[in-house]
């Protein structure tokens, strides 16, 4: 009875999780095994085709040449930019007095609190081809002669998305790393300074090894978030499917499901994205267990 008691206490919460998470996930998996479209929605009938949707996805050059490179490449750049910029901000905050640290921390948390939709429209306005601030500055200084549409090119499109993600995500990294920095031994840093170690050397030989668990957590969490970015891409001009060169897995799944009415194929793409996120989540959990030991 003593062994079963914890499970009995957890049963209500596990039941809620099963209803809210596992059942929708199971439904998506079942849809991915069907040729499911408007006809099946109206008739209510199932049309199982096995793994044909997955075969179509893996045989589609779109996956290998566009969608997967966009998803993985963007996640790598966005995570790197977020962690580096957040760490620099954390180092700045650690050097401030307690009063100024509170003021600056409160200010940067505005970016964290801003909804993704609102932040995305701000970046769209900044880079707008007709009335954007960036084009206005570049035209005014003579750097460019004609307005530039930054959203048509794949590289400039994702450069804007990366800026959006870094701006929205760096406060989490900064505050988390700051919490670790405040726990680093000041005596060790002072001793290294006396021995002639510069700021770069102090960071990589004292601070970084001490905060390795913190960096592992923020990197893995940022990777999970950036792999499944949707709104910041979908709301950009062309990101909703009209410019297929900028699709990632999340938006591709949505476009195939709701724009093409191929819900089975869209579900298969969603399952593929879920599996990628599951791999990253397993790495995250293993990292936590290692740090606990």
* pTM listed for this prediction: 0.86
pLDDT value, residue 66 = 92
Q: How far apart are the first and last CA of the chain?
A: 29
Residue 156 lies in a domain: yes
- What is the per-residue pLDDT across 15-61, written as a single tens digit (0 to 9) for each? 888 788 888 888 889 888 988 888 888 887 888 888 999 999 999 99
pLDDT value at residue 1 = 54
In a domain, 87, yes or no: yes
Residue 12 inside a domain? The answer is: no
Any domain includes 274: yes
For the chain, the average pLDDT equals: 86
Percent of all residues in the chain with a pLDDT value above 90, rounded to a whole number: 32
Lookup: tokens for 123: 């970046």
CA-CA distances (angstroms) from residue 19 to 10, 15, 24, 289? 14, 6, 8, 27
User: What pLDDT does residue 18 have?
Assistant: 78
| Distance in angstroms (rounded) separating the CA atoms of residues 253 and 240 | 11
Residue with the larger pLDDT of the pair 17 and 174: 174
- Residue 240's φ and ψ, nearest 5 degrees, are -85, 5
Q: The CATH number of the domain where 233 resides is what?
A: 1.10.3720.10
Rounded to whole angstroms, what are the CA distances from 51 to 36, 56, 59, 244, 268?
Answer: 13, 9, 12, 25, 9
pLDDT band at 131 (very low <50, low <70, confident <90, very high): confident
Q: What is the pLDDT of residue 120?
A: 92
Q: How far is the C-alpha of 69 from the C-alpha of 210, rounded, in Å?
A: 34
Per-residue pLDDT band at 108 (split at 50, 70, 90): confident
Q: Which burial class, exposed, middle or buried, applies to 65 when counting CB atoms under 10 A from its CB (0-12, 13-18, 19+)? A: exposed
Q: What is the pLDDT of residues 194-245, one digit of tens each?
A: 767 777 777 777 778 888 888 888 888 888 889 889 999 999 998 888 889 9
Q: Is residue 76 part of a domain?
A: yes
Residue 97 lies inside a defined structural domain of this protein = yes
User: Could you tell me if residue 31 is inside a domain?
Assistant: no
- Residue 44 belongs to some domain of the structure: no
Q: How confident is the model at residue 179 (pLDDT cuts 50, 70, 90)?
A: confident
* Domain count within the chain: 1
Q: The domain containing residue 242 runs over which residues?
A: 61-292
């Amino acid at each position: 009875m003593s062994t079963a008691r914890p499970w009995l206490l957890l049963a209500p919460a596990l039941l809620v999780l099963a209803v809210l998470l596992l059942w929708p996930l199971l439904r998506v998996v079942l849809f991915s095994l069907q040729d499911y479209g408007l006809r099946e929605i109206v008739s209510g009938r199932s049309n199982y085709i096995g793994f044909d949707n997955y075969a179509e996805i893996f045989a589609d050059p779109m996956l290998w040449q566009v969608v997967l490179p966009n998803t993985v490449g963007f996640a790598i750049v966005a995570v790197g930019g977020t962690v580096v910029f957040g760490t620099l901000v954390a180092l700045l905050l650690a050097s401030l007095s307690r009063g100024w640290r509170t003021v600056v921390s409160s200010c940067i948390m505005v970016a964290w609190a801003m909804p993704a939709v609102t932040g995305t429209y701000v970046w769209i306005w900044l880079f707008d081809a007709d009335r954007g601030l960036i084009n206005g500055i570049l035209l005014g200084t003579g750097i460019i002669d004609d307005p530039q549409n930054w959203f048509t090119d794949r590289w400039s499109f994702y450069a804007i998305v990366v800026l959006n993600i870094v701006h929205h995500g760096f406060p989490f990294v900064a505050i988390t790393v700051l919490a670790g920095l405040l726990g680093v031994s000041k005596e060790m840093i002072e001793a290294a300074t006396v021995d002639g170690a510069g700021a770069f050397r102090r960071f990589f030989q004292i601070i970084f090894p001490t905060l390795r668990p913190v960096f592992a957590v923020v990197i893995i969490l940022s990777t999970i978030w950036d792999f499944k970015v949707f709104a910041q891409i979908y709301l950009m001009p062309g990101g909703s499917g009209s410019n297929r060169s900028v699709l990632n897995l999340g938006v591709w799944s949505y476009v195939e499901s709701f724009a093409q009415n191929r819900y089975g194929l869209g579900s298969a793409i969603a399952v593929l994205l879920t599996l990628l996120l599951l791999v990253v989540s397993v790495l995250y959990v293993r990292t936590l267990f290692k740090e606990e030991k």
